[in-house]
Amino acid sequence: MDLFLLHPDIYAQRYYCSQLSIDEWYSQGEARPFMGIFLILMGVVLESIYLPFIITMLQRKFISMSCYKLMFFLGITDFIQIYGGSLFSGFLTLKGAVFCTNPTLIYINGLIGLGMLALTYLFLNPTLRKAACNLFCRFGRRVKIYGTGSLFQTQESRNTNRTVTEGQC
């Protein structure tokens, strides 16, 4: 991202798309209408299923509960990811686009999709882990937690068990 925003000259050298015209780049790609229509239809179906649930979770009686706040957050990130992974990709697949036909648009779409995935893993997993630890600590007993690994831990740290007592939470 820093190359894209701060050093566009280096970005242009690494992702050199000037050697062919846009029409020549489209001739390099292969339009796949069946796959494109399938992706778009799946995106429309999934988005139309998600939307009523997201709207329902915004009601005062639901959004005041923390579980619905988390589900609403996950719903929004999924909604955005479905758009990028299904609708946008289906449109590009229909056209037979390659990276150099729309480099900025494809790059930004990838950044948004990766950003939503990172929000889900980096924000939600620690929140749930802390909530589980607080719940266990309220009981005042020693609780053994197995498999509290996250996405960025090594295999050795995933296999270790730890005991949580009331003072550790």
Q: Which residues of 28-48 are buried (b: 16+ CB within 10 A; e: fewer)?
A: ebeeeeeebeebbeebeebbe
User: For position 99, what pLDDT does the model report?
Assistant: 87
Q: Residue 131 in contact with residue 148, Cβ under 8 Å? A: no
d(CA 155, CA 152): 10
User: For position 91, what pLDDT does the model report?
Assistant: 92
Full DSSP string of 86-135? IIIHHHHHHHT--GGGSHHHHHHHHHHHHHHHHHIIIIIHHHHHHHHHHH
d(CA 144, CA 146): 6
Domain borders along the chain are 2-168
- Token match 């619905």: residue? 68
pLDDT tens, position by position, for the chain (169 residues)? 677 788 888 888 888 888 888 888 888 888 899 999 999 999 999 999 999 999 999 999 998 888 888 888 888 888 888 988 899 999 999 988 888 888 888 888 888 888 888 887 777 666 666 666 666 666 655 545 555 444 444 444 445 545 444 444 4
Widest pairwise Cα distance in the chain: 68
Q: Residue 97 in contact with residue 107, Cβ under 8 Å? A: no
